């Protein structure tokens, strides 16, 4: 479906993306993750044809994707892109924004499609409201409905849940990715929030300074991150001496949920403790090595605890 080979892009002589290659099949969801400024948004724009690559190739369904130097209209047929600024027209209604790319030949069908999509994103009651009267999170949900309207095969979503309240975002993610699966829509999500992709993405592409650090299946990358940077994109992570796990020399990466309090283990001194809802996140120090773990009980600064570790996989 989508194949990218040896993609390079620079802006005013400054490298933005370097030697990016990956492929995805129809129906897959890919998460492009990385810190701010790593090239996530630029990659989506290249795939959509907003920019011309310096070198390399982008092919969608076997056809090259053209940039502005050779195509007046960016992107490939059946590909839709949602930028971080949403792309809404502020002085027409939410319903008119969602319907602006739909045919007017069958008004009943068009209106039904608009109502269906606004319901999916939880904005059915705002169909006649103009975006400039809505909050940023509400506008973002309208924009999500808008890019779905023309029945795309591939969606390019740039931080699609960034302004949506957490309690709404969880339900919205499940609704949207369920809709994608039912309608065989592929999706590439650029995000720095693991909640946006861990439950939903088949594959992950991690970028650092415009270079890929890893591309692979989501669970495999999570269980076997190639480095501390990639692991930290999923949340807190510990880098500890390998001999603490009887794992030889060097260091290993261990997530907080794989650190546990035990009667027989390594002595640590608590430095901070944070209530986390269902548990407590504890920061501790073992011989000047920082460790973060989850506990069912609150711990006090300076308290001595005994902890053990298990491998992530």
Q: Are 242 and 248 in contact (CB under 8 A)?
A: yes
pLDDT at residue 302, rounded to an integer? 97
Predicted confidence band of residue 247 (pLDDT cuts 50, 70, 90): low
Contact by Cβ (8 Å): 110, 99: yes
Superfamily for the 2-232 domain: P-loop containing nucleotide triphosphate hydrolases (3.40.50.300)
Mean predicted confidence (pLDDT) in 290-312: 95
Q: Nearest-CA neighbor of 158 among 87, 88, 210, 84?
A: 84
Q: Where are the domains of the chain?
A: 2-232, 238-309
pTM: 0.92
User: Among residues of the chain, what percentage have pLDDT more than 90?
Assistant: 84
Q: What does the pLDDT average to over 80-102?
A: 93
Topology of domain 238-309, CATH:
OB fold (Dihydrolipoamide Acetyltransferase, E2P) (2.40.50)
- Residues composing the chain: 313
Residue 266 corresponds to which tokens in the numbers above?
Answer: 């390594």
DSSP class of residue 69?
A: T
Residue 313 has pLDDT above 70, yes or no: no
């Amino acid at each position: 479906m989508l194949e990218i080979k040896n993609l390079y892009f620079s802006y005013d002589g400054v490298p933005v993306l370097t030697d990016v290659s990956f492929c995805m099949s129809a129906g897959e969801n890919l998460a492009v993750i990385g810190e701010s400024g790593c090239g996530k948004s630029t990659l989506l724009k290249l795939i959509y044809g907003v920019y011309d690559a310096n070198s390399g190739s982008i092919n969608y369904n076997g056809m090259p994707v053209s940039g502005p130097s050779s195509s007046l209209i960016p992107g490939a047929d059946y590909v839709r892109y949602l930028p971080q600024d949403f792309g809404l027209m502020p002085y027409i209604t939410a319903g008119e924004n969602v319907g602006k790319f739909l045919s007017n030949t069958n008004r009943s069908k068009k209106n039904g499609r608009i109502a269906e999509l606004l319901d999916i994103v939880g904005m059915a009651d705002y169909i006649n409201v103009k975006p400039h009267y809505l909050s940023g999170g509400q506008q973002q949900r309208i924009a999500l409905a808008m890019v779905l309207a023309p029945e795309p095969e591939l969606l390019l979503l740039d931080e699609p849940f960034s302004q949506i309240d957490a309690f709404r975002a969880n339900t919205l993610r499940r609704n949207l990715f369920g809709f994608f699966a039912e309608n065989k829509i592929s999706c590439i999500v650029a995000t720095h929030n693991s909640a946006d992709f861990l439950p939903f993405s088949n594959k992950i592409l991690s970028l650092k300074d415009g270079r890929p650090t890893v591309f692979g299946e989501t669970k495999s990358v999570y269980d076997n991150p190639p480095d501390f940077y990639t692991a930290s994109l999923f949340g807190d992570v510990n880098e500890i001496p390998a001999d603490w796990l009887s794992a030889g020399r060097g260091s290993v990466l261990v997530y907080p949920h794989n650190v546990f309090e035990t009667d027989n283990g390594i002595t640590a001194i608590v430095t901070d403790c944070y209530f986390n809802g269902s548990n407590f996140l504890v920061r501790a120090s073992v011989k000047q090595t920082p460790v973060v773990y989850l506990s069912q009980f609150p711990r006090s600064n300076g308290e001595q605890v005994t902890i053990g570790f298990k491998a992530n996989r």
